[in-house]
Amino acid sequence: MAPAPTTTYTTADLAARLGGRLEGDAALRILGVAALAEAGDGDISWVGDAKYAAAAGQSRAAALLMSDGVEAPPGRTAIRVADVDLSLIELLRLFSPFGERPAAGVHPSAIVAPDAVIDGVTILANVYVGRGARIGPGTLLHPGVYVGDMAVIGRDCTLWPNVVIRDRIVLGDRVEIHANSTIGADGFGYIFRRGRHLKIPHIGSVVIEDDVEIGANSTVDRAKTGATRVGAGSKIDNLVQIAHNVRLGAACVIVAQVGISGSCTLGNGVVLGGQAGVADHVRIGDGAMIAAQSGVRGRVPPGVRLAGTPAIDAAQNWRQLSQLRRLSDLAGELRDMKRRISELESAAHDPERR
C-alpha cells in the first residue's frame, strides 16, 4: 500500500506555481501525480498530445495538465500550459516523496580524515572520507559512500549509497551519482609478455564536470595518464562503462549498458542508444546519434545517425533489415523460378514437347 500523501495542493495553487491557465474547479484538492491509466480521484495527470485525448476521457484523474491545442474532456478541470513536459518536471518536484535534504553534519559512524575539508556537508552513516579530500557545501553523502584521498567534490552534489570516488578524482558542482557506481577504478590495460598479462599502471584521474548525472552501477575508469573526462550537463544511465582516457563532450546522453572503449573522444550532444559499443580510439562528432545495439568501429562525422553492427547510415541499415526479413520469401520464389526454368529447358530439349 502506498503511503498517505503528505503534501496537497488546490488546482488554483498548482496553476499559479506552473504559470498555467486554470479551467474548471479552482478549489479541487490534488493529492498526487499519476499516468492517465493509473490516476485516481485525487490525482492530476498530463496530456501533451491530441493522440492521448481519448485516454484522457477514460481516465479517472481529477484534473489534467494539458497543452493549449488539446481539447479537455467534458466537465474535467484542466491546467493549460505552453509546454506540458517542462511543467510536468515542476509538478513532479512538488509531489516528490523524498523530502528535504538532511541538515549538514557528520554521522557518528562516519570516518573523516582530520585534514579533509567538509564545511557545510551532510555525511550520513558509514561514510569514509580520505586524507586531503575537499567537499563543497551543500553536498550530501548517503550511507556507505567512499571518498578517496585528495578527491575533490564540488557544491550541492548528491552521492547515493555505496558510491565509490577513488583517490584524486574531481567532481564539479551539482553532480549526482546513483547507488553503487564507481568513479576512478583502474583502466583495463595489459600487455602480454613471457606468457602472462602484465598490468599497465593507470596513474591519471577522472574529471566529472558540472551538472552531470550518472546512473546506478556505472563505472568511469581513471586515465593511464591525464584524465578521463565527462563534459558538463551529460547524462549517463545505469550499467554504463566508460573506459580510461575517454573524453565525453557536454550535454551527451549515454543510455544503459553502453560500453565506450579507451581513448575515445565524443563531441558535444552525442547520443548513444542502449547497449551500443564503441571501439577504442574512435572519434564521434558533435550531435551524432548512435542507435541501440550498434557497434561503432571508425570515425563518426558530426550530426549523423548510425545503426547496426558495424554501424552504418541508419536509414540504410533499416532498409537492409527490411530486405533481410524478406529473404525466406525470396528464397521460395527463387526455388520456384529454378523449377520453372528447369522445366522449360527440359521441354526445349524434348522434341515431343516442342
Question: 3-class DSSP state for residue 140?
Answer: strand
Q: Please, are residues 243 and 188 in contact by the beta-carbon 8 Å criterion? A: yes
d(CA 269, CA 29): 41
Reduced to 3 states, what is the DSSP secondary structure of residue 15? Answer: helix
d(CA 174, CA 153): 9
Compute the distance between CA of residue 198 and CA of residue 236 in angstroms, rounded to an integer. Answer: 31
Distance (Å, rounded) from C-alpha 302 to C-alpha 126?
A: 45
> Is residue 304 helix, strand or coil?
coil
- Rounded CA gap, 221 and 312, in Å? 28
- Please pick, among 178, 197, 244, 349, the residue that the annotation labels catalytic: 244
Half-sphere exposure of 161 (CA within 13 A, CB side): 3
Q: In which residue are the cell numbers 543510455 written?
A: 255
Q: How far is CA 163 from CA 67, 180, 183, 188, in A?
A: 40, 5, 8, 20
Cβ atoms 158, 177 nearer than 8 A: yes
**Which of 216, 292, 274, 294 shows the shortest CA–CA distance to 282?**
294
Residues facing 305 on adjacent strands? 289
Active site residue 142: no
Which helix (H) or strand (E) segment holds residue 54: the answer is helix 53-58
Assigned C-alpha cell, 244:
580510461
The residue to which cell 515431343 is assigned: 352
Catalytic residue set: 244
